[in-house]
Amino acid sequence: MDSEQQTVPMTTPVPAPVLRTHPAAWLWLSLAVIALDQATKFLSSRFLELHERVEVLPVLDFTLLHNTGAAFSLLAGASGWQRWFFIGLAFAVSLMLLVWIWRTPRGEKLLPLALALILGGALGNVIDRIVHGYVVDFIHVHWGAAYFPAFNIADSAITVGAGLLILDAFRERR
């Protein structure tokens, strides 16, 4: 047989099935946020005295603070009921976030990432409220004499997660 006469059967390649991870796989990130948050709070509590200021950079100090309130010390001066209110609220929000993560369609990345960061941050702070009765804050950013309220890794995760959630909402509109 002549090589020009030989034909090779052409088959259309069948694409391999795309295996998409379930969004609940992002919960490892929540656990990592909780672990990092609790480790840094432990270290700051271990090596800093309350209200002690250690300059890290010209715009960043480590200052150990105890926040009995919410963001920006909201309700910090209340009589103690706020502790249980914030614990209950954090558990309710965490449950909602877990359900939302679980129901997110496979293949989504930005939404479960955002939700996992918020979940890890919420649980990191609620652990403090349960164990100590307050949230340990130690990151203190300032510009000259103007100080931003102190925060922690959990607060950072919540903030980044909220930003990604807003970004995802804008992305969905397009």
Hey, which residues are catalytic here? 137, 155
Report how far residue 18's alpha carbon sits from residue 103's, in angstroms, rounded to the nearest whole number: 19
Report how far residue 75's alpha carbon sits from residue 82's, in angstroms, rounded to the nearest whole number: 7
Report how far residue 85's alpha carbon sits from residue 68's, in angstroms, rounded to the nearest whole number: 11
| Tokens matching residue 70 | 């919410």
DSSP state, 24?
Answer: G
Report how far residue 90's alpha carbon sits from residue 6's, in angstroms, rounded to the nearest whole number: 71
Report how far residue 51's alpha carbon sits from residue 73's, in angstroms, rounded to the nearest whole number: 15
DSSP state, 144?
Answer: T
Report how far residue 3's alpha carbon sits from residue 13's, in angstroms, rounded to the nearest whole number: 24
Q: Which of 163, 87, 75, 77 is nearest to 118 (CA)?
A: 163
Q: How far is CA 98 from the centre of its chain?
A: 13
